[in-house]
Every structure is written in structure tokens, then in C-alpha cells.
């Protein structure tokens, strides 16, 4: 028989109050339940100790909490932890805890698989099964925060939406998850500690501007030349660099948030001085910084990371142009937890 229970975390507080009134319960009970769900991260109605046993049983009968669970975890030599999470419908996703001396970062997924086909990314070789709900993104943060505290005694300081999937193709759920993570009656984390990364969907970047989001935006650029970008990121064919530049200008005008460009340097592909010049030119559109990322090989693709000397020359050119530039060394490579390596084998 099909489960007719309703996902209680899909309701806004006001809707929940209406439901409780219909059930003959006081509206403040809805507020108590909402707090258990989002502030205390309750995984069952049984945990809600300030509700009567009768109400808990009634809620359990009519509603479900589709809690995400850790299926397995791997520990890297550099202390990175990659977890495979199992969803209520048995789909699997991955998330990563990235510890450094300055911060503890959760890298979370926004989709089961991905519909984009970036040639260098393992997730791009998977099918997109479905979008994640806001509560499933939120649960990843809660679980990775628990791992951070249990293993290193330090809570999360940062969250990056850089796991599996394209966040801007799951726009509403991503924004709702940020709301629950940052809200006072949620996890109460600062918006400035959150970065959402996109492969570059121009109209959705403009929508972020219209919604005047407070979190940080990162664009996976990887080439500032349409021909090269088309080759490795087919999405560029519908979202050219010109279209992205216009969208980013619009976004910046609305939010005043600077942009971060993520740039993987591939050997003899986008690592030359002319590539650096193209990137520096693109950087003039809006205030920005550049993260140069080393490539993490995957079995599906033949790309190779650029030589360290070349990376340094590339970065130094950008710095001389007055562009804030960081070279990011990969973490968790030995457990396939590094950037672009997330992929899971689906269960039946």
C-alpha cells in the first residue's frame, strides 16, 4: 500500500499552524514542532518531548520526517571526511567535510546526479535522478556538522554548495535550504559563510540578483574563451561568456556581492599566458576574486593537471593585474572526495 504520509518539513510555519488548528490543536504547538524540526534537527516525532504522547502518535500517523542518514564514510589522510548519504527513497548522494587550520567546511549536494555534462567532472557522467528537497540539503549540513564536532571538536564555519548537481537548476529548494540554515529559528548560520557554486546559468544568476541573496556566488569558469569553454562545459553553448558577463553585472548591481571565479588549470588546454590574459579581461566585468584549482583526475576523462610552475606563472600574471588570486590545493584526493570527483553507484 502506498504511503500517504505527508512530508512535514515541506510546510512553512504558517501552513503548519493552519493544519494544527484544523486538527483541533493550539497554533503554538505548530511552532513547537517547527522548532524541533529546524532548530533542534529532530529526526522523529518521538524526540519532541514537550508534546503529549497522543499528539506525537497522531503526527507520526499522518506525517513523515524524511531524514537523511549516513550510509558510509571514508577518512582521508588529510582529515577530509567523505560521506555517502542515503535518502528516504534509497537514492544516494555524497557530501564532504573539509577541515583546514582556518575553517571547517561542509560541501553539500543539491541534486541526485547532475543533468549537466561537464567533461572533467565525475558527477557529470551520472544521470540526474531528481532534485533534493530543502530538508535533504539541510540534513547534510546537520550531519556533517556532527562529524566535525565528533571528530575534531569544532563546529562548521562554512558551507559550499559544490557537491553533486547544479544548484541553480534546483533554485527554490536551494534558496529554501539556505533560509533554514541561516534563520534564527533554524541553524542560525551567517549567510556570508555560505557559497553557492554554479556552472553558469545566466537567467538564474539574474534571478539571484532579483531575490537579492546574501550568500556568496561562485562561477565555475575554467576558460574565459567560448570555444574552449564549449569544449569542456556544453552548458556554455546556451550561456555564452557574453551572456554570463551581462548576468553577473546585473547580479552585482542588485546585491553588491563580489563574485568568485573557480578556474581549474588543465595541462596544455587553458594554462597558457593567453588564457590568463583572457581571464583577466573577463574579471573586469564585476569585482571578483579567482580561485585556481588543481585538477583531480577521474577515470572517465583524459585531462591532466597543469604543471606547478605553469600554475604559478598563471596566478602571478593575474595578481599583477590587481586580481585577488588564490591557488587552492585539493583535499581528500585519496578517497575521491576532491573537487569534481563525487560520484556514487546508484542502488536499485
Q: Could you tell me the CA-to-CA distances from 236 to 60, 116, 180, 242 in Å, in that order?
A: 47, 11, 32, 10
Q: What is the pLDDT of residues 296-324, one digit of tens each?
A: 776 666 778 888 899 999 999 999 999 99
Query: What's the predicted TM-score (pTM) here?
Result: 0.91
pLDDT of 1: 40
Res. 332 pLDDT band, cuts 50 70 90:
low
Determine what percent of the chain is predicted with pLDDT higher than 90.
Answer: 78
Query: 127 versus 81: which is more confidently predicted?
Result: 81
Q: Given 114, 118, 288, 339, which residue is catalytic? A: 339
Range list of H helices, 128-219 = 134-152, 171-182, 202-210
Query: pLDDT digits over 155-201, tens only?
Result: 999 999 999 999 999 999 999 999 999 999 999 999 999 999 999 99
Q: How many other CB atoms are there within 10 angstroms of residue 261's CB atom?
A: 22
pLDDT given for residue 158 in this prediction:
97
Rounded distance between C-alpha atoms, residue 257 and residue 214, angstroms? 8
Residue 99 to residue 116: CA distance in whole angstroms: 28
Q: Helices (H) and strands (E) in the chain — how many of each?
A: 10, 14
Beta-strand pair 130-131/111-112: antiparallel
Q: Is 94 among the catalytic positions?
A: yes
Q: What is the pLDDT of residue 3?
A: 55
Name the DSSP class of 297.
-
What stretch of H or E contains 173? helix 171-182
The structural domains of the chain, with segments of one domain joined by +, span: 6-64, 69-335
- Provide the CATH number for the domain formed by 6-64 in this structure: 1.10.150.530
Confidence of residue 97 (pLDDT cuts 50, 70, 90): very high
pLDDT in tens, 196-223: 999 999 999 999 999 999 999 999 999 9
Rounded CA-CA distance 82/77 in Å is: 12
Residues 67 and 88 sit within 8 Å (Cβ to Cβ): yes
- Annotated catalytic residue 283: no
Domain pair 6-64 / 69-335, same fold: no
Please state, in angstroms and rounded to a whole number, the distance separating the CA atoms of residues 60 and 46: 8
CATH topology of domain 69-335: TIM Barrel (3.20.20)
25, 94, 136, 262: the active-site residue: 94
Three-state SS at 275: helix
pLDDT of residue 348: 31
Percent of the chain with pLDDT over 70: 91
Look at residue 202 in the predicted model and tell me its pLDDT: 97
C-alpha cell at 224: 574565459
User: Which grid cell is 182?
Assistant: 541561516
- 73: exposed, middle or buried (C-beta count within 10 Å: 0-12, 13-18, 19+)? middle
340 within 8 A of 264, measured Cβ to Cβ: yes
Amino acid at each position: 500500500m502506498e504511503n500517504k504520509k505527508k512530508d512535514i518539513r515541506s510546510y512553512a510555519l504558517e501552513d503548519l499552524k493552519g493544519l494544527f488548528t484544523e486538527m483541533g490543536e493550539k497554533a503554538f504547538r505548530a511552532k513547537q514542532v517547527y522548532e524541533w524540526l529546524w532548530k533542534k534537527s529532530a529526526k522523529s516525532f518521538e524526540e519532541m518531548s514537550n508534546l503529549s504522547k497522543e499528539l506525537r502518535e497522531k503526527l507520526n500517523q499522518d506525517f513523515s520526517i524524511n531524514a537523511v542518514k549516513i550510509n558510509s564514510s571514508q577518512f582521508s589522510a588529510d582529515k577530509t571526511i567523505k560521506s555517502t548519504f542515503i535518502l528516504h527513497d534509497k537514492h544516494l548522494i555524497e557530501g564532504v567535510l573539509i577541515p583546514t587550520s582556518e575553517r571547517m567546511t561542509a560541501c553539500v549536494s543539491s541534486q541526485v546526479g547532475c543533468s549537466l555534462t561537464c567533461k572533467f567532472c565525475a558527477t557529470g557522467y551520472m544521470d540526474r535522478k531528481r532534485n533534493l528537497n530543502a530538508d535533504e540539503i539541510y540534513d547534510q549540513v546537520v550531519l556533517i556538522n556532527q562529524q566535525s564536532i565528533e571528530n575534531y571538536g569544532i563546529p562548521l564555519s562554512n558551507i559550499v554548495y559544490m557537491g553533486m548537481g547544479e544548484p541553480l537548476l534546483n533554485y527554490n529548494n536551494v534558496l529554501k535550504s539556505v533560509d533554514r540554515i541561516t534563520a534564527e529559528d533554524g541553524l542560525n548560520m551567517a549567510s556570508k559563510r555560505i557559497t553557492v557554486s554554479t556552472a553558469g546559468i545566466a537567467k538564474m544568476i539574474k534571478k539571484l540578483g532579483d531575490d537579492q541573496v546574501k550568500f556568496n556566488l561562485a562561477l565555475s569558469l575554467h576558460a574565459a574563451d567560448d570555444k574552449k569553454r564549449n569544449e569542456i562545459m556544453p552548458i556554455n553553448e546556451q550561456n555564452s561568456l557574453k551572456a554570463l558577463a551581462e548576468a553577473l553585472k546585473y547580479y552585482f548591481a542588485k546585491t553588491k556581492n563580489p563574485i568568485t571565479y573557480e578556474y581549474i588549470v588543465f595541462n596544455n588546454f587553458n594554462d597558457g599566458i593567453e588564457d590568463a590574459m583572457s581571464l583577466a579581461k573577463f574579471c573586469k566585468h564585476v569585482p571578483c576574486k579567482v580561485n585556481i584549482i588543481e585538477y583531480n583526475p577521474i577515470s572517465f576523462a583524459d585531462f591532466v593537471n597543469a604543471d606547478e610552475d605553469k600554475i604559478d606563472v598563471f596566478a602571478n600574471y593575474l595578481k599583477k593585474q590587481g586580481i585577488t588570486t588564490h591557488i587552492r590545493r585539493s583535499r581528500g584526493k585519496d578517497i575521491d572526495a576532491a573537487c569534481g570527483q563525487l560520484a556514487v553507484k546508484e542502488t536499485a
